[in-house]
């Protein structure tokens, strides 16, 4: 079969020249397209000294116009018995993709560094004129990607998708895709050196080959226009060598809505259409409509829910009605199996537990989670807080650090902007106040709002004592004036005194905005028992929740809470033998799946709250 090289778009050409990654080429909704999975067993080589990437002068091989055979991405085989090649992917062991490497191999449990992955594949079916992309759901943290010895590009960020076009490089047989994945923590990256979760490395989400027509629908956005319950607004963006003046159709059969559009000179078409008899998506009835976008030979199908969202004073209004966000925080981890959560089954387990707890809301901390859990939340009627991994203290004045944070924010907004379940974009967690930090976060907010003006903006801030009264707590962070929802973490009774201190605390929150307690919690080793003042016991955690829930219920603006956390999770910071053993024990469910006593305290609290909002 003859291969046709589609002219590369200028943005993609710049990408290949620089060896970087451009957000502009991210493909939406790959599930709806013609795909071939590359999941499964990949050969791997552990390379802590990165000898497969750098020569002995520490110069990258891929910046040399004639890379030597010792560069791992060339996948070189000895041409005769006398040739010295010091690696061989095909004789190397295998790892499963998608999965982290830490939980698959005991000797890689604590490993931070470079591992090379290699997958061989055939692709005999590419139609003439079509294009082919390799799409990664995520890989942690830096990924350098090569096909058949040629560099496609580089991506930074452990939790967001990226793709590269391989149309002119793919062969009908014997392709080899090689990915250098490096999860070393670095001060200038996002997140930075210091976190309180496990730094799982590897290709942690699906890898797929995505085939499209030469001109195709790369991106689209469709939601209710702000402050409207019967007018849809958004856009469609085409990609290809001939995208000006092209007909585009939007079809929503159940709403009897059909709209004909024409792309402008840049392949963009604005959507605005009035609809009748629209059933709004809600937590009780998560209605999703079949939506079709088509242009030329390209057809993309999605299931999209439509709902209104706004704040009014201290209220969060979903479809015009006040809602209390009965939430819980979640890490992307399957504690029972061990390792990073990656499958739809993992997501189903976590959201089922949240539903059992009585939740209508989840905070996905502290980074963008797998698309599986977002789409399931859409189907199950669970509201979602999504968070950019700007965590604790990062390099606020470093332009490259901001660029990395901003790119990760763009990628998650781009991926999930059509999901009705997502109601909050969070910019950061527990970041110290400074003019430089404030400017950093303000620019992130401006970016999020420019991409999506239909959702609320927040961040997990910190609370402080009044200078004159240690028992009076308030929010003094100037960033609170910039967000739609004031959210903050507090651990009174765990890091701050004992649980009886809660009864003495007075909250004075001056912002006329909804308040979410984004974290509260105490550690308990599942199955350990004692009285209510025995640290690490289930009884202490139970006492903590009783006192904290009574305390926060007195905050007039309280409209939600996401206690820390649904399930115990791994953290190298937690080293107490016999208690922590490398686990953060603040979960309401243990790593064995057992509910702790505090689970039922929060469950009962949410039952009473739900009655007030029925």
H/E element, 440: helix 435-451
CATH T-level assignment (fold) for domain 10-212: Jelly Rolls (2.60.120)
Mean pLDDT of 383-399: 98
Higher model confidence: residue 3 or residue 140? 140
Q: Mean pLDDT across the stretch 582-596?
A: 98
pLDDT one-digit tens code per residue, 273-299: 999 999 999 999 999 999 999 999 999
Question: What was the pLDDT predicted at 6?
Answer: 33
CA atoms of 332 and 346, how far apart (whole Å): 9
pLDDT band at 68 (very low <50, low <70, confident <90, very high): confident
CA-nearest of 463, 453, 411 to 162 is: 411
Q: Do domains 10-212 and 310-612 have the same CATH topology?
A: no
Q: How confident is the model at residue 12 (pLDDT cuts 50, 70, 90)?
A: very low
Work out the pLDDT band at 21, boundaries 50, 70, 90: very low
pLDDT mean over 359-373: 98
Q: How does pLDDT run across 472-505, given as a tens digit for each residue?
A: 999 999 999 999 999 999 999 999 999 999 999 9
Nearest alpha carbon to residue 201 among 92, 60, 46: 46
pLDDT at 23: 35
pLDDT tens string 135-187: 999 999 999 999 999 999 999 999 999 999 999 999 999 999 999 999 999 99
Decide if pLDDT at 14 tops 90.
no
Name the DSSP class of 232.
E
Residue 227 is predicted with a pLDDT of: 84
- Which of 2, 5, 22, 19 is closest to 166 using CA atoms? 5
Q: Please, what CATH class does the domain formed by 310-612 belong to? A: alpha beta
Q: In the structure, what pLDDT confidence band is assigned to residue 380 with cuts at 50, 70 and 90?
A: very high
Give the contacts of 467 (CB within 8 A, at least 6 positions apart). none
pLDDT per residue over 83-142, tens digit each? 999 999 999 999 999 999 999 999 999 999 999 999 999 999 899 999 999 999 999 999
CATH 3.30.1370.60 fits 216-307, yes or no: no
Q: Flag whether pLDDT at 1 surpasses 50.
A: no
Residues 309-313, mean pLDDT to the nearest whole number: 97
118: left (phi over 0), alpha (psi -120 to 50) or beta: beta
pLDDT at 2 over 80: no
> Looking at residue 349, what is its pLDDT?
98
Give residue 67's pLDDT: 66
- 131-136 and 162-165 beta bridge pairing: antiparallel
Please check whether residue 380 is in contact with residue 344, taking contact to mean a CB–CB distance below 8 angstroms: no
State the distance between the two ends of the chain, measured CA to CA, in whole angstroms: 62
Please say whether the beta carbons of 201 and 112 come within 8 A.
yes
DSSP 481: G
Provide the residue ranges of all domains of the chain, joining segments of one domain with +: 10-212, 216-307, 310-612
């Amino acid at each position: 079969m003859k291969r046709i090289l589609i002219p590369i778009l200028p943005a993609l050409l710049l990408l290949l020249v620089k060896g970087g990654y451009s957000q502009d080429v991210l493909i939406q909704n790959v599930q709806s397209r013609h795909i071939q999975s590359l999941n499964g067993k990949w050969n791997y080589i552990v390379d802590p000294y990165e000898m497969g990437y750098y020569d002995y002068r520490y110069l990258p091989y891929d910046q040399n116009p004639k890379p030597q055979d010792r560069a791992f991405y060339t996948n070189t085989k000895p041409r005769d018995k006398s040739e010295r090649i010091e690696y061989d992917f095909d004789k190397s062991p295998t790892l499963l993709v998608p999965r982290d490497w830490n939980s698959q191999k005991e000797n890689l449990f604590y490993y931070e560094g470079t591992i090379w992955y290699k997958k061989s594949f055939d692709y005999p079916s590419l139609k003439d004129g079509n294009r082919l992309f390799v799409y990664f759901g995520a890989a942690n943290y830096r990924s350098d990607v090569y096909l058949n010895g040629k560099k496609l590009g580089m991506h930074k960020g452990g939790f967001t998708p990226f793709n590269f076009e391989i149309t002119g490089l793919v062969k009908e047989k014997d392709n080899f895709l090689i990915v250098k994945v490096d999860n070393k923590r670095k001060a200038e990256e996002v997140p930075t050196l210091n976190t309180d979760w496990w730094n799982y490395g590897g290709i942690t989400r699906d890898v797929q080959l995505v085939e499209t027509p030469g001109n195709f629908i790369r991106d689209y956005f469709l939601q209710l226009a702000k402050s409207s319950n019967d007018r849809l607004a958004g856009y469609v963006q085409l990609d290809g060598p001939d995208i000006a003046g092209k007909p585009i159709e939007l079809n929503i059969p159940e709403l009897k809505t059909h709209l004909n559009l024409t792309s402008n000179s840049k392949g963009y078409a604005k959507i605005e259409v009035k609809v009748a008899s629209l059933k709004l998506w809600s937590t009780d009835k998560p209605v999703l409509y079949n939506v079709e976008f088509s242009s030329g030979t390209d057809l993309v199908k999605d299931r999209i829910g439509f709902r209104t969202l706004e704040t009014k004073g201290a209220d969060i209004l979903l479809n015009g009605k006040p809602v209390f966000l009965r939430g819980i925080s979640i890490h992307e981890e399957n504690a029972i199996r061990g390792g990073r959560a990656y499958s739809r089954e993992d997501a189903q387990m976590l959201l089922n537990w949240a539903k059992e707890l009585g939740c209508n809301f989840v905070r996905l901390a502290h980074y963008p989670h797998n698309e599986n859990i977002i789409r399931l939340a859409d189907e199950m009627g669970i509201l979602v807080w999504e968070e950019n991994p700007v965590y604790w203290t990062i390099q606020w004045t470093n332009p490259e650090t901001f660029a990395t944070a901003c790119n990760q924010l763009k990628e998650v907004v781009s991926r999930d902007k059509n999901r009705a379940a997502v109601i909050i974009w969070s910019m950061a967690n527990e970041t110290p106040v400074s003019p430089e930090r404030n400017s950093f976060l303000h620019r992130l907010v401006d970016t999020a709002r420019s991409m999506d003006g239909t959702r609320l903006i927040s961040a997990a801030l910190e609370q402080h004592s009044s200078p004159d009264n240690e028992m009076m707590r308030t929010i003094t962070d100037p960033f609170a004036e910039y967000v739609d929802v004031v959210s903050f973490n507090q651990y009174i009774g765990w890091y701050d005194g004992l649980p009886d201190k809660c009864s003495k605390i007075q909250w004075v929150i001056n912002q006329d905005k909804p308040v979410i307690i984004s974290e509260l919690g105490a550690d308990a080793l599942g199955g350990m028992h004692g009285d209510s003042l025995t640290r690490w016991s289930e009884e202490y955690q139970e006492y903590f929740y009783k006192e904290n829930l009574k305390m926060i219920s007195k905050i007039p603006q309280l409209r939600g809470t996401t206690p820390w956390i649904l399930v115990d999770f791994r953290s190298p910071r937690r080293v107490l033998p016999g208690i922590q053993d490398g686990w953060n024990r603040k979960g309401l469910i243990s790593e064995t799946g057992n509910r702790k006593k505090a689970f039922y305290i929060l469950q009962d609290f949410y039952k009473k709250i739900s009655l007030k909002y029925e």
